[in-house]
Structure 1
Amino acid sequence: MKLNWDMLRERSGQEINNYLFYDNGDLVGFLGIYQFHSKEVEISGMVHPQHRRKGIVGELVRAAVQGCVLRGISKLIFICSNGSSSGKAFLEALGAQYSFSEYWMQLDESAGRAGIAKNVQEIKLRLAEPNDLSTIANLNAIGFDMTQADALKFTEETQGSPTTLTYVAEVRTEDENMRSVGKIDVRLENSKAFIFGFVVAAEERGRGYGRTILNDTIAAVKEKDRTASIALEVAVKNERALSLYESSGFRVSMITDYYDLVIMND
C-alpha cells in the first residue's frame, strides 16, 4: 500500500492531513491526505482486517471530505492497490471515477542496461544549490502540469527534506556556459532509494538526455550507498518513459490505480 512515509514523517502541523479511527483505544483505521496541488489532494487509507465492513472507511472519508471543502480543495484522488476488489467497489460506490494507473518499478541489479548513444552531448549531473530554486520550480511546473505557485511550494518542500537529494542536469553551450536541461529527485533512506520528479525540459527532449540522466542518477545513488535498492513510479500510459525504465533495468513489481472524485467546482 502506498502511504508516502516521507510526507507522514514531515507533516507541518498547520492543517489536518491524518485521520485516525480508534476502537477502545486501539488504532484500527487510518486515512492520509497528500497535497501537491493547491486544488487537489491524493488520499490513501486502510482498516485493520478484523474491523472491516463496519463503515470505518466511510467515516474517515466523510471527515476528510469535510476538511478538504473547508480548505477549498475541489478534487480528491484516491490511491487504490490494483488487486483490491473491495477498495475498487468502495470507490465506485462513492462516485469516484477511474483515472489512470501507475507501475511501481524496482531496479533489477542483474538486468542489463541499454548503452548511451555516442552522439549524446556530455551531461553533468550535480546536486542542486539554493540559486537553482527557480529553475527547478519551472521544470516541475512544466513536467507535472503545476501552477508556478504550486511548483515553487513543491520544490521548496522537496529541497527542504533531509532525506531528499535533488540533481540538476546540465550541458555545456558553445560559449562555454552551462545550460540546464533537466532535474531529478531521489529520496534515500535506510538503503532504499526512490526516484521521482524526473523532468527533461520540453525543448531538450528526443536527444537521449533522459537515459543519461537516469543512468548517472543510479550511479550517484550507488556511490552514496552501494547496497541501496532503487525504485520509481511511472504512469502505465506513459509508454516512452516505461520503455526507458525497462531498458535501464527496472521491472514492474506493483500496480496502483487512481480514482478521481470532484467535490466542488472551481
Structure 2
Amino acid sequence: MSTNHIRTVITEGVNATDLPRLQALIAICQQHDQIHFPVNVAETPGTALLYYETDTLLGFAYLLGEHNPELLGAVHPHYRRQGIGRSLLQTAQTWCRTRQQESLLVVGLDTIPAGTAFAKAVGGELSFSEYHMVLSNTDSQSSPFLNEEGLSLRLATHNEASEISHLSSTAFGDDPAEIEPWITREILRSNRRFFFIELHGTPIGTISVVGEGEGSIDITTFGILPAYRQRGYGRKVLQHTVAMLQAEGWSQIALDVETDNTNALFLYQSCGFHQQQAYHYFKILL
C-alpha cells in the first residue's frame, strides 16, 4: 500500500461526508467476518478515528465513554496486516492521554480470533467479557400485571438524570462520578429512554432502552437495588419491557450481560434471549 495521501481524521461523531463511507466499510466487514458490529455510528455519540488513503476509507476506530473509554474498530479485509490497526490504536492512545485517561478498553469479538490476538499483541489484558443476547421468540408476549404487586415503570425526564445515576451506580456498584456524566448526556438523546422501576411509588431500580436503527432496540442499564432482589421483580419488569417494545413494533430486541453474571444470564435465557456473540474487553494502560 502506498504511503502517499495517508491521513487520519479525528471527529466527535461522524459528519455527513464520512458517515456513508463508514457505514459502507462496516457493511463490508460485517459480511466478510459474519459479525454484527455492536455500535450504530449514526446514533451513538463517540469519537471517530478514520484512516484514509486519498478518499478511500480503509479502517476506523470508534471511542466510546469518557472514563477508561472503549475502542471498537475494523480494517477493510483487503488491507489487513498492513499496520493500519496499530496506527489507529496509537492515535487512540494519544487522544486518550491528552484527556488524562488512565486506560483504554479494546473490544474484540469471539468470532474473530485475529482481533483478540491483536488486542493481546499490543499489550491488552483481558478485563471482562460480555454476551450479546437477542430475543429468540418474536411472537408478542403478554405483559405481567406489574401493579398487582405495586410495581410500575415511570419514564424519567432529563431533570432526573442525577436520580437515575444514583440508582444505577448503587445497583451496579459503579462510581457515581463516572456514571452520572454519561447518563446526563444519554438521557437527552431522542432514541434513548430511562425508566424508574418503582415499588409502591418508591424507586428500586432502573431500566433503559435505546433504539439502534432498522427496527432494533437494546435494553440497557437494567438493575434492581440489592435489598429488593430475589423477589421476582426483575423478571416481571423485563417481561413487561419486552411486551412494551413489541407493542411499539420493534423487530429485534437485544441486551448485553457479563459472561460471569450467572443469575442475570439465567434470567435472560429463561425469558427467551439467546447468545448471538461474545465481546472481550482488553485493558491497555496508558
Q: Counterpart of 1:5 in 2: which secondary structure?
A: coil
2:57 paired residue number = 27
In 2, the alpha carbon distance for the partners of 1:4 and 1:81 equals 13
One of 180, 186, 189 as aligned partner of 1:161: 189
Identity of aligned residues (%): 28
One of 202, 209, 212 as aligned partner of 2:233: 209
2:224 paired residue number = 200
TM-score normalised by structure 1 residue count: 0.85
Question: 5+ residue gaps in structure 1?
Answer: 173-177
For 2:246, the aligned partner's letter is: K
Root mean square deviation of aligned Cα: 2.5
Evaluate the alpha carbon distance shift between residue 205 and residue 46 of structure 1 in structure 2; reply closer, same or farther with a 3 A threshold: same
Query: Are positions 1:123 and 2:146 aligned together?
Result: no
Question: 5+ residue gaps in structure 2?
Answer: 1-35
Evaluate the alpha carbon distance shift between residue 217 and residue 110 of structure 1 in structure 2; reply closer, same or farther with a 3 A threshold: closer
Q: How many pairs are equivalent?
A: 249
**Using CA pairs below 8 Å that are at least 6 residues apart, which structure has the higher relative contact order?**
1
Q: Counterpart of 2:52 in 1: which secondary structure?
A: strand
The answer (yes or no) to whether the contact 1:112–1:248 under 8 Å persists in 2 is: no
Deviations 1:190-230 (A, max 9, x none): 321110111111221121111111111112212222x4210
Query: Are positions 1:64 and 2:64 aligned together?
Result: no
Deviation of 1:116 after TM superposition, in Å, equals 7.1
In 1, the alpha carbon distance for the partners of 2:174 and 2:65 equals 12
In 2, the alpha carbon distance for the partners of 1:63 and 1:100 equals 24
Deviation of 1:132 after TM superposition, in Å, equals 3.1
> Equivalences for 1:129-168 in 2 at 5 Å?
129-168=157-196
Query: Are positions 1:191 and 2:219 aligned together?
Result: no
One of 215, 221, 231 as aligned partner of 2:254: 231
Deviating more after overlay: 179-188 vs 134-143? 134-143
In 2, the alpha carbon distance for the partners of 1:73 and 1:129 equals 30
In 2, the alpha carbon distance for the partners of 1:179 and 1:186 equals 21
Q: Counterpart of 2:267 in 1: which secondary structure?
A: helix
Evaluate the alpha carbon distance shift between residue 248 and residue 10 of structure 1 in structure 2; reply closer, same or farther with a 3 A threshold: closer
Query: Are positions 1:249 and 2:272 aligned together?
Result: yes
Evaluate the alpha carbon distance shift between residue 182 and residue 107 of structure 1 in structure 2; reply closer, same or farther with a 3 A threshold: same
